[in-house]
């Protein structure tokens, strides 16, 4: 019962809404609210503050969410290992940053599962910092990131080189980042903690560009929101070439390499030494071969 209530609590905390959580869990909304109420009664704390239809975690709720994610991750791992011992389908939990998880891993996962019917993957997408922290807690078996990571803590293998481009709708007024910022054109950037933002800020430091001096810089969480705003004619962005391949082919966006210099970064697989090491390195080798064949 506790495991079920914790999963309901986790979904409600993720969705910030009981109705959306109920839909995601295939439950009724009264059942979800009843389970949360009983959980609060058993713990003797309030987990959510209700603001209309939206939910906000209390300090106790945030603490329970951290513990819940760790506990459920370990529960899932136990289930996977028991099923693997029985010869059932084996699961691999993947974590990935936005570019890697949205534009690189899905096709590779699909190809691997088509070739090996005994293997299934789950995928969670977040920024580099969050993915690394969850990997440390062994909430993932393997992660693919394009941002900085603790090289003393993780084992790592590079997968591919990615480059960032200036992108906008129609002809770009300039290919110089410095000139674009001076012109006042809005520059839409991913949030701090993302690999894309880190790579761009490193570029700015190399070229003595102080982003904080330009009021036209806007922070937007998520590539889809950024691309949709630019397609609507609002501003420009600096974004992975992988994330705008379809738009470039369709002609809905234009892109160019910055005049100052190229912005390149490496996507790396991160993992920890454990009994899944053999499969982890087998999957990484498979991904590398698939990408080599595409070139």
Q: What percent of the chain has pLDDT over 90?
A: 43
Tell me the three-class secondary structure of 76-104, residue by residue: HHHHHHHHHHCCCCEEEEEEECHHHHHHC
pLDDT at position 92: 86
Domains and CATH numbers, the chain: 1-74 (1.10.10.10), 161-266 (3.40.190.10)
Handedness of CA 23, 15, 223, 230 (dihedral sign): positive
Greatest Cα-to-Cα distance within the chain, rounded to the nearest angstrom = 64
Does position 88 have pLDDT exceeding 70, yes or no? no
Count of CA atoms in the C-beta half-sphere (13 A) of 35: 21
pLDDT for res 86: 57
pLDDT in tens, 23-81: 777 788 899 899 999 999 999 999 999 887 788 899 999 999 888 877 777 776 666 66
Q: Is the pLDDT score of 89 beyond 60?
A: no
C-alpha 270/C-alpha 256 separation (Å) is 30
pLDDT of residue 293: 80
What pLDDT score was predicted for residue 271? 92
Residues 14-27 have a mean pLDDT of 81
Query: Alpha-carbon distance 166 to 109, whole Å?
Result: 29
pLDDT of residue 129: 85
Angstrom distance (rounded) from CA 277 to CA 31 = 41
Assess whether pLDDT exceeds 80 at residue 270. yes
Read off the pLDDT band of 163 (50, 70, 90): very high
CA distance 62 to 46: 11
The SS3 assignment for 164 reads strand
Q: What pLDDT, on a 0 to 100 scale, did the predictor assign at position 48?
A: 92
Average pLDDT over residues 170-185: 91
Residue that wins the pLDDT comparison between 11 and 252: 252
Among candidates 151, 162, 142, which has minimal Cα distance to 284?
Answer: 142
Per-residue pLDDT tens over the stretch 194-213: 888 999 999 999 999 998 88
Torsion of CA 124, 127, 131, 133, to 10 degrees: -140
- What percent of the chain shows pLDDT beyond 70? 93
* Tokens encoding 49: 């503050």
**CA dist list (Å): 275 to 81, 138, 202:** 10, 12, 37
Greater confidence (75 vs 240) lies with 240
Residue 96: per-residue pLDDT = 93
Q: In this model, does residue 214 exceed pLDDT 70?
A: yes
Residues 6 or more apart whose CB falls under 8 angstroms from that of 203 comprise: 164, 177, 209, 258, 260, 261, 263
| Residues forming a β-bridge with 165 | 239
Residue 152: its pLDDT value, please? Answer: 86
Q: Determine the pLDDT at residue 133.
A: 87
Half-sphere exposure of residue 27: CA atoms within 13 angstroms, side-chain side = 21
Residue with tokens 């713990």: 43
- Closest CA relative to residue 270, chosen from 130, 96, 86, 144: 144
Q: What is the pLDDT of residue 278?
A: 81
Of the listed ranges 17-26, 57-66, 124-133, 160-169, the one predicted with least confidence? 17-26
Residue 287 clears pLDDT 90, i.e. is over it: yes
Output the average pLDDT for the chain: 87
**Run of H or E including 187:** strand 187-189
**Residue 248: its pLDDT value, please?**
93
**Do 256 and 115 form a contact (C-beta atoms < 8 A)?**
no
Instruction: Give me the pLDDT at residue 79, please.
Output: 65
Helix, strand, or coil (residue 121): strand
Integer angstrom CA distances of residue 42 from 3, 38, 45, 57, 63: 14, 6, 8, 17, 16
Would you state the pLDDT for residue 126? 86
């Amino acid at each position: 019962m506790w495991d079920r209530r914790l999963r309901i609590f986790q979904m409600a905390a993720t969705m910030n809404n009981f109705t959306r959580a109920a839909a995601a869990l295939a439950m009724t909304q009264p059942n979800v609210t009843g389970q949360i109420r009983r959980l609060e009664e058993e713990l003797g704390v309030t987990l959510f503050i209700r603001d209309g239809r939206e939910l906000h975690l209390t300090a106790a709720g945030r603490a329970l969410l951290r513990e819940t994610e760790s506990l459920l991750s370990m529960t899932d791992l136990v289930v996977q290992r028991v099923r693997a011992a029985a010869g059932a389908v084996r699961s691999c939990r993947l974590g990935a940053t936005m570019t890697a998880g949205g534009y690189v891993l899905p096709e590779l996962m699909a190809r691997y599962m088509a070739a090996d019917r005994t293997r299934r993957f789950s995928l969670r997408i977040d920024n580099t910092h969050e993915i690394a922290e969850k990997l440390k807690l062994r909430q993932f078996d393997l992660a693919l990131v394009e941002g900085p990571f603790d090289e003393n803590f993780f084992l790592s293998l590079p997968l591919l080189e990615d480059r960032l481009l200036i992108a906008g709708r129609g002809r770009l007024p300039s290919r110089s980042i410095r000139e674009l910022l001076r012109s006042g054109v809005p520059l839409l950037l991913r949030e701090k903690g993302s690999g894309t933002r880190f790579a761009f800020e490193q570029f700015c430091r190399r070229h003595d560009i102080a982003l904080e001096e330009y009021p036209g810089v806007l922070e937007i969480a998520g590539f889809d929101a950024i691309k949709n705003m630019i397609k609507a004619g609002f501003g420009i962005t600096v974004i992975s070439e992988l994330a705008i391949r379809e738009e470039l082919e369709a002609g809905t966006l234009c892109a160019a390499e910055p005049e100052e210099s190229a912005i390149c970064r490496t996507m790396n697989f991160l993992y920890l030494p454990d009994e899944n090491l053999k499969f982890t390195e087998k999957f990484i080798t498979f991904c590398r071969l698939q990408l080599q064949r595409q070139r």
